[in-house]
Structure 1
Amino acid sequence: MPESLEPIFLPANQPPQFYRGGAAIAALRGDEAREYGPEDWVASTTTRFTGGPDGLTRLPDGRWLADAVTADPRGWLGDAHLRRFGDSTALLVKLLDAGQRLPVHFHPDDRFARSHFDSHFGKTEAWVVLGTTGDDATVYTGFRETTSAATVRDWVRDQDAPSMLEALNAVPVTPGDTVVIPAGLPHAIGAGVFVVELQQPTDFSLTMEWRGFLDSPEQGHLGIGFDTALQVLDTSGWDAERLASLIRRGHNPDPDAAGGTTELLAPLADGFFRADRLRPSEAPSDAVTLTPGFAVLVAIDGAGTLTSDRGGSAIARGDTVVVPYGAGPLRLSGGVTVLRCRPPA
């Protein structure tokens, strides 16, 4: 097994964005804050929609991660993954710190993305809430009532942001909550919400509320026109029962609670990605075993050790790590809490 196929610790990767944020990312990583650094694309083989290298992860040895995976897809991804997804990692993970409210937007599903963006993947996503600031940390998910397509077109034409936002469910969140956002669902993230975001590996955001955020409506509809883009928007009503299928509450660990592995996302995420919290106890005999497979690790608290057959590395709050399939089984030990993000099973 090549020696290079070991877990790799990654620096921050913050492509330019149109909105403010990043203080919470800097605090987690121990870096200097940037006013417009609200997203850290972790272990990314995905570029910005505008093209070029923005968004791609460069490994510490100078290679692009995308090139490393293409050069050794079996070593990075394993045969079962290759049979389903080819040499795509099938995953993009971000740290996202909303320094201001994000605009109301939605994403295409796989079928729409194939037809209009020549992509195998749309963009279903999910959020694991790491932190919040202020007294009213809120995300917005789905229309409260079924809304006619004509009404939505009027809102977009007039850039009636208050009506768009008022039509959505306002969902208060606290650290440890998780929310799945299916493709097509209108949504926004409120100011002061800091999440780990898992998503399909694309940068397709169809932005209904573009004025005040983007330079032109073309950036909002990605060049396909709003009449076409809105065809994939979910205009149905999401009542409390439907919302409950997207949201899980309160998975932040009590420091005195037992450790182990906790699945974090609602079952709707299963066909797109997986996320779990790994929290070994500090006793060496209580290490958590990670089975072989491509994964992205985000250490969110404490410090511990990540060990493979070829040795161990310290892992502590703020570290982000990409794990190739070829690294084999790993052991996580010590007083550390890690989010493990993976493609679908």
Structure 2
Amino acid sequence: MSSVHSALPAQAAALPANQPRQFYRGGASIAALRGGDHDREFGPEDWVASTTARFGHDESGLSRLPDGRLLRDAVSADPQAWLGAEHTSAFGDSTALLVKLLDAGQRLPVHCHPDNGFAQRHLGSRFGKTEAWIVVGTSGPNPVVHLGFRDDVSPETVAEWVRTQDSSAMLGSLNEIPVKPGDTVHVPAGTPHAIGAGVFIVELQQPTDFSITLEWRGFLADAESAFLGLDTTTALETVNRTRFDDALLSSLIKRTGGADEGRVPLLADDAAPFFRADRLHGPAELDPSFGVLIVLDGRGELHCAEGSPLQLSRGTTVVVPHAAGRTRLDGDLTTVLCRPPSAGSHA
């Protein structure tokens, strides 16, 4: 990196769509939100302000700033400006966050993600992949997500389903949950899950691309690509095989569609060690923090401590560095603000 680039200040910036090719269809809802022509058949994910590359890739998935730098490199060059001293003391130069727009043009396969401990032992990563979904749109007759087993399942049963690729048994074993805009779902690492066709979400994740794809036939080329290169027995250690009863599900799911106060906390309490998200209506004052801002509706401006206001409209996605200081949203806006965990609450 040149000394000129490395000296550039950390500034809030609007980001273009960043849609690495995926194995499943979707993208029309992303294009409709952003007002562009990004609805490639296999462009169902827009990785927003991403410093995470796709598994097995060097740069695919990484976001670029308007000046052409990879956001990952800019953060690495000046982590305190981008992330703040408290954050860097806890997480180093990692943003500790990956945000996506995900438009399921078809049902996703049944899969799960490793937790921090498994990722440290087997994948050389501090982070596993706990995630959360904020439903921002739905289409079709039956928008649903599938979350957690309805009953306890033995390891032998899971292994047999995977060996025979029994899709109906895997999907049928999960809780089916109807969703509508404003609903949010916290998905702890290890939870078997699938997102149904026609569900459009803002997805917050720990900053990895680790998936254990239990139902790979018809989606992926082979089992090796489904299990991150791990042997099947090791990969299946990630699966939480315990029952997700009504009480547990109610602790993971929030219904916020009717809430219209200025700041609406979106995620379940259990999400706090992993990430934070709020829906903001109208003008708002924002404390200094690394953040990802997604404009769902309206027009307005983002005012930072220095520089000209950033113009915002429906579909704008913005990365906000800690160095932007106390910022202000002005205008008739509905936005989602995604942030890493506070330094004292991380998992």
Do structure 1's residue 305 and structure 2's residue 315 form an aligned pair?
A: no
CA distance, structure 1, for counterparts of residue 203 and residue 258 of structure 2: 16
* Aligned residues: CA RMSD: 1.1
2:108/2:196 contact within 8 Å kept: yes
Normalising by structure 2, what TM-score?
Answer: 0.94
Runs of 5+ consecutive residues of structure 1 not aligned to the other structure: 281-286
Percentage identity across paired residues of the two chains: 58
1:177/1:252 contact within 8 Å kept: no
| 1:27 counterpart (17, 27, 32) | 32
Structure 2 match to 1:180: 186
Structure 2 match to 1:284: none
Structure 2 match to 1:4: 9
1:144/1:167 contact within 8 Å kept: yes
Matches within 5 A, 1:89-168: 89-168=95-174
Do structure 1's residue 314 and structure 2's residue 316 form an aligned pair?
A: no
Structure 1 match to 2:278: 276
Q: Aligned residue pairs: how many?
A: 334
CA distance, structure 2, for counterparts of residue 141 and residue 66 of structure 1: 32
Give 1:51 shift. Answer: 1.6
Matches within 5 A, 1:149-298: 149-251=155-257, 257=260, 259-280=261-282, 287-298=283-294
CA distance, structure 2, for counterparts of residue 316 and residue 263 of structure 1: 22
CA distance, structure 2, for counterparts of residue 112 and residue 35 of structure 1: 33
CA distance, structure 1, for counterparts of residue 301 and residue 319 of structure 2: 15
SS at match of 1:245: helix
Give 1:279 shift. Answer: 1.0
1:14/1:41 contact within 8 Å kept: yes
Change (3 A) 1:66 1:3: closer
Q: Deviations over 1:270-326 (max 9, x none)?
A: 00000001112xxxxxx3100001000000011111111223122111000000000
Change (3 A) 1:260 1:64: same
SS at match of 1:335: strand
2:13/2:310 contact within 8 Å kept: no
| 2:334 counterpart (332, 337, 340) | 337
Give 1:3 shift. Answer: 7.2
2:264/2:279 contact within 8 Å kept: yes
CA distance, structure 1, for counterparts of residue 256 and residue 47 of structure 2: 25
1:304/1:314 contact within 8 Å kept: yes
Tell me whether 72-81 or 222-231 shows the greater mean CA deviation: 222-231
Structure 2 match to 1:46: 52
